[in-house]
Structure 1
C-alpha cells in the first residue's frame, strides 16, 4: 500500500507533504505558506504576492520557531494566533509525517495514514471553529451599528 500522503508535494516552507500540487497557490495546513512557486533558487527574495513581505527563508525561520510562517507580532490571520491545542496538534502531525517518510511496512503505513487523517481533520475543525467565532464577532459588531 502506498500512502496517499506520500504522493503529495512537500510545502516549500515547512517541508511536509501537505500540497496536492506545486505552484498552484495551495495553502499549507501546517505553516500557512501559500505555494506561489517560490523555491530554494529564490528563497531569499521577497516576491510579494500571497505571502506578503515574507521571503521563503524568513518564513522557514519563523516556522522553526513558531510552527507558522509568520512572526507573532505580524500574524494578521483572521483566526488570530495559534492556540496551544493547535500548536500541539501541528507538532504531533509533523512527527507522524516524519514517521510516514521512513515507514515501509504496509500495515504500519495504513496506521500512519489514519493518524495523519485524524490530525489533519482536527486542525481543520479547529480552524472552522475559529472562523465561526470570527464571524460571530463581525455579526455582533454590525448589530451594534
Structure 2
C-alpha cells in the first residue's frame, strides 16, 4: 500500500506534513503548520508558533529546529522527504 503524499513544510521545505494548513507539526523542524501564517505572509506572527515564519526559518537555519527546546523532539529529514 502506498503512503499518502506529503505536503511541504513552509519552514524547512521538507515533505513531512500529512495535511496542508491543518496545524500538523513538522517532525524535522517542529514548525506547527498554521494556516494564518500562509494567509498573512511570512512576517506575520503565528500564534501557535509564537514567532513569524521568517523568524522560524532563520532559527531553523541556525539551530536545525524552530526553538531550541524542541531539539529533543526533532529528527533528521528522510531522503524521500527532500524536495530537490
Q: TM-score range by the shorter chain?
A: 0.7 to 0.9
Task: Write out aligned runs for 1:116-135 (5 A).
Answer: none
| Other-structure match for 1:50 | 48
Deviation at 1:40, TM superposition (A): 8.0
Count of aligned residue pairs for this structure pair: 81
Give 1:36 deviation, angstroms: 1.1
Given the superposition, is the C-alpha separation of residues 67 and 14 from structure 1 closer, same or farther in structure 2, using an over 3 Å criterion?
same
RMSD value, Cα: 2.6
Residue 35 (structure 1) shift: 0.6
Q: Which residue of 2 aligns with 1:35?
A: 33
**Structure possessing the higher relative contact order (Cα contacts under 8 Å, 6 or more residues apart):** 2
Runs (4+) off by over 4 Å: none
5+ residue gaps in structure 2? none
Q: 1:66 aligns to what?
A: 63
Q: Give 1 or 2: higher helix fraction.
A: 1
CA deviation after TM superposition for structure 1 residue 15, in Å: 0.7
TM-score, normalised to structure 1's length? 0.47
The TM-score, its normalising length taken from structure 2, stands at: 0.77
Q: Deviation of residue 41 (structure 1)?
A: 5.5
Give the structure with the larger strand fraction: 2
